[in-house]
Amino acid sequence: MKIVVLTGAGISAESGLKTFRDSNGLWEGHDVMQVATPEGFKNDAALVLEFYNQRRRQLLEVQPNNAHTALAQLEATHDVTIITQNVDDLHERAGSTAVIHLHGELLKVRSSVNAQYIVDWQQDVCVGDMCPNGHQLRPHIVWFGEAVPMLDVAIDHVESADALLIVGTSMQVYPAAGLVQYASNHAPIYFVDPKPSIDSSNRITVFAEKATTGVPKAIERLG
Ligand SMILES: NC(=O)c1ccc[n+]([C@@H]2O[C@H](COP(=O)([O-])OP(=O)(O)OC[C@H]3O[C@@H](n4cnc5c(N)ncnc54)[C@H](O)[C@@H]3O)[C@@H](O)[C@H]2O)c1
C-alpha cells in the first residue's frame, strides 16, 4: 500500500521547534513578512540571515520525536513518501528515506542569483558569504510569494496514494494545503492535529491530539 504523509510544523513542535501560527503569526518573535519574504531579504539581509542562523543552530540541538520515528518505521511494511512543509531535517534523522521538502531546507544554502547552485550548509551564513560566482548566499528556503518547485512531484505522489496521513498542519499555507484535493476518492485520509482544521467525515478520520500520541494511533488504523 502506498502511503503519502503530509506534515507541517506541528510534527516538530514536541521536538522543541515552535510553530508560528500558534504564536499569533510570529515566528520565534519575528514578523514573518520581515524574515520569510524576498522583500524582507532585500530590506535587511543581515536580519534575515541571522534569523535563519538561529533556526539552524536550534535545529542542530533538537532531536526527532516519536512521531517522526513512527513514520520512518512505517517503511518496513509500506511504500511511504513524506511531503513536508518543514524546513528541518527531523524526518531524515529519524530514518525516513523518501522526503520531499516543499518549502526548502534549513541545512542548505543557495546562490541568491542562480537558484541551481544549492549546497549543504551547517554553519552561520553572513552578508559577504558568496557562491563561486560571487553572489550572496541565501537560505535554501521557499519564502512567501516564491514558486514551490517541488509541487508537481508532490501532486504526482498524492494522486497515486492509497491512503493519506496529514500531521500537524493548519492547512492554511497554499499551495501545500491544496495538495489534499488531488487524492483519489478511494483513499482514506487520517488527520492528526490537536487543533484540527478539518472535521471527521466518511472519508476523513481526525485524531485531535499531539503528533507523538496521534501518529501511532493513526498508523494502527492504517492496518
Ligand atoms: N519545524 C519547521 O521546519 C518549521 C517551524 C515553523 C514554521 N515553519 C515554516 O512555516 C510554515 C508555516 O508554519 P506554521 O507553524 O504556521 O505551521 P502550520 O500552519 O502548519 O500550523 C501548525 C499546526 O501544528 C499544530 N500543532 C501544534 N502542536 C502540535 C503537536 N504537538 N502535534 C501536532 N500538531 C501540532 C497546530 O494546531 C497547527 O495546526 C511551514 O509550512 C514551514 O515552512 C517550519
Return mean pLDDT, the chain: 94
32 pLDDT higher than 90: no
223 pLDDT higher than 90: no
Query: Ligand 1: distance of its center to the CA of 58 in Å?
Result: 16
- Which pLDDT band holds residue 158 (cuts at 50, 70, 90)? very high
Q: Which atom of ligand 1 is nearest to the CA of 102?
A: 43
221 pLDDT higher than 70: yes
Rg (CA), the chain: 18
Q: Which atom of ligand 1 is nearest to the CA of 87?
A: 3
Residue with cell 540571515: 49
C-alpha cell at 156: 504526482
26 pLDDT higher than 80: no
Candidate of 11, 12, 19 to mutate for ligand 1, largest count of ligand atoms within 8 Å of Cβ? 19
**101 given a catalytic annotation:** no
- Which pLDDT band holds residue 25 (cuts at 50, 70, 90)? low
Q: Name the closest-CA residue to atom 29, ligand 1.
A: 10
pLDDT above 70 as % of the chain = 98
pLDDT at 80: 98
DSSP string covering 78-125, please? SEEEEEE---S-HHHHHT-S-EEETTEEEEEEEESS-TT-EEE--S--
pLDDT at 19: 86
Nearest residue to 214 (alpha-carbon basis) of 167, 172, 180: 167
pLDDT above 90 as % of the chain = 85
Q: Alpha carbon 154 to chain centroid distance?
A: 12
For the stretch 171-217, pLDDT in tens is 888 888 899 999 999 999 999 999 998 888 888 999 999 999 999 99
Tell me the mean pLDDT in the region 32-60. Answer: 95
**Antiparallel, parallel or unpaired: β 137-141 and 104-111:** antiparallel
Q: Name the closest-CA residue to atom 19, ligand 1.
A: 170
- Which pLDDT band holds residue 24 (cuts at 50, 70, 90)? low
Query: Ligand 1: distance of its center to the CA of 167 in Å?
Result: 9
Q: Higher pLDDT residue, 198 or 120?
A: 120
Query: Ligand 1: distance of its center to the CA of 18 in Å?
Result: 7
Q: Which of 91, 103, 140, 157 is catalytic?
A: 103
**Helices (H), ranges, the chain:** 32-35, 38-43, 45-59, 66-73, 90-94, 151-159, 211-222
- Which pLDDT band holds residue 20 (cuts at 50, 70, 90)? confident
For ligand 1, residues with CB inside 6 Å are 8-14, 17, 19-22, 27, 85-88, 103, 168-170, 172-173, 193-195, 210-211
As a residue count, the chain comes to 223
